Amino acid sequence: MPLTFLKFAGSVKLVVLFVVIAQIALADKPVSDSEQMWVKLNIASDTASFRINLPQDGCVSILSTIAGRRQVERLWGPRFMSRGTYKLALPAGRVTNKTGTVELFKIELNAESETGSRGSGERQFNNPMGIDFDTVRNEILIADTGNDRIIRLTRDGRLVSQHGGFGLSFGDTSEEREDSLDDPFDVASGGFSNFYVSDQNNKRVCIFDSYRSYQGTLFPKVDDRRGRLDRPRGLKVDSENNIWLVDGRADRILKISANGDKLLELGGFGYSTMQLKDPTQVDLNDNGEIYIADRGKGRIAIFDRLGSFLGEMTDHLKSPTGVAIDPDGLILVCDDTTNEMGLYTPAGLRLSFFANASDNTKLRRPSDIAVTESHIYLLDSGNHRVLSISRKKQAIRVPWQAAEAVLE
């Protein structure tokens, strides 16, 4: 692995060349450069250039290891690229003094099992609309909308617990349980082992803990007339424990703090690209970019963390209902008109799609998605069931290293 420094007197200049080759063919005879994946990193004073040879088609990401942690930071990608040699440029400041890998990968999806049928008994559902995965307890959370309850399942579909039950809020709390729900649309795990529920007809977001205990209404606060909700739908808790909420009939997205204060609002009804129509679900990637299932406009709308419009995804979409970001930064979208779940790059290119369960029955009005490293849990609302889909990743990784700048 040659590492070369060039110093120029009288100026600040750095050129670092780092070359790593990954051989992907196991054979006694040598393989040509075109059959290998290799990376050359060249760093000047303000630009880091990655020259990458790809021996096959696939998605490419440039990753950096975060010192002292097991986490990685995604510097670039994922983006689908055909076989060939490419040059990619990044700001030098994002690379200097860091190490990482360039990754070429593919994702394979296969249906494994189904849980559920129509009804109100154990492991039965009635038009469930929202799903999430609790990474702390390794449990699947389901908003069983037609049965006015939240269901918790193990990974293999066994019942853990249920929460809620039908109840309307008429102002006389003495006649109803506080934890009663009316058409709960979504559930999201996060912060201190809590989970949050968007309670549509009671027009609120409420909190439960993992021991069936109702913790109260998070939003809106009792005296907040301006913060009233109209059919709250999708929920997502971000890495800072802020709650992102789809306010369905108001055609907007709200960012709410862990103590119930509104921090940001975006969207609103209208015909510009900045505005939304009948949104259903929301998710965020590692960079804080916001992906919204904008069902009425047949797209996934993308905003930055401050609410500025970045773009949209429309490929093969008619009425997208669910959106989820997978661990590799790819986008999963389900559509209740095409009855498919698609796997997309952030640029909106559909890589593959999924339309049948393991018993070869077709999806019917899929509504939401939860994803882990190894599995995808797809809520097949029209068939009143949850699909478990294996997620297998095949990858070639080439390490890179950027040394310290040499100052003259």
CA distances (Å), 245 to each of 142, 263, 291, 333, 381, in order?
Answer: 17, 11, 12, 18, 20
84 and 140 inside one domain: no
Position 408 in a domain? no
155 and 248 inside one domain: yes
CATH number of residue 21's parent domain:
2.60.40
Position 159 in a domain? yes
SS3 211: coil
At 68 the pLDDT is 65
279 and 149 inside one domain: yes
CA distances (Å), 11 to each of 3, 15, 94, 107, in order?
Answer: 21, 13, 21, 46
169 and 318 inside one domain: yes
Position 263 in a domain? yes
Per-residue pLDDT of the chain (408 residues; tens, 9 = 90+): 333 333 333 333 444 444 444 443 333 344 455 579 999 999 988 999 999 999 999 999 999 987 666 778 999 999 999 999 999 999 998 998 899 999 999 999 999 999 999 999 989 999 999 999 999 899 999 999 999 999 999 999 999 999 988 765 444 444 445 678 999 999 999 877 789 999 999 999 999 987 778 889 999 988 777 779 999 999 999 989 999 999 999 999 999 999 999 999 999 999 999 999 999 999 999 999 999 999 999 999 999 999 999 999 999 999 999 999 999 999 999 999 999 999 999 999 999 999 999 999 999 999 999 999 999 999 999 999 999 999 999 999 999 998 765 544
251 and 319 inside one domain: yes
SS3 137: coil
Apex 244 CA angle, 310 and 154, nearest 5: 120
CATH number of residue 349's parent domain:
2.120.10.30
At 5 the pLDDT is 33
Structure tokens, 343: 């796997």
At 32 the pLDDT is 52
347 and 306 inside one domain: yes
DSSP tag of 157: S
DSSP tag of 248: T
Alpha-carbon dihedral sign for residues 44, 68, 79, 2: positive
85 and 126 inside one domain: no
At 34 the pLDDT is 59
348 and 240 inside one domain: yes
CA 356 to the chain's CA centroid: 22
User: Domain limits at 383?
Assistant: 109-394
Beta strands in 46-193 (DSSP E): 47-54, 58-65, 72-81, 84-91, 99-115, 130-134, 139-144, 149-154, 159-164, 184-190
Whether a cis peptide bond, with omega within 30° of 0, leads into 320 is: no
322 and 258 inside one domain: yes
At 347 the pLDDT is 95
Distance CA 57, CA 126 (A): 42
95 and 150 inside one domain: no
Position 40 in a domain? yes
Give the CA diameter of the chain.
83
Give pTM, 2 decimals.
Answer: 0.89
Length of the chain as a residue count: 408
Other residues' Cβ atoms within 10 Å of the Cβ of residue 137: 15
- Residue 81's beta-bridge partner residues? 58
36 and 164 inside one domain: no
Nearest CA-CA partner of 38 in 402, 384, 397: 397
208 and 185 inside one domain: yes
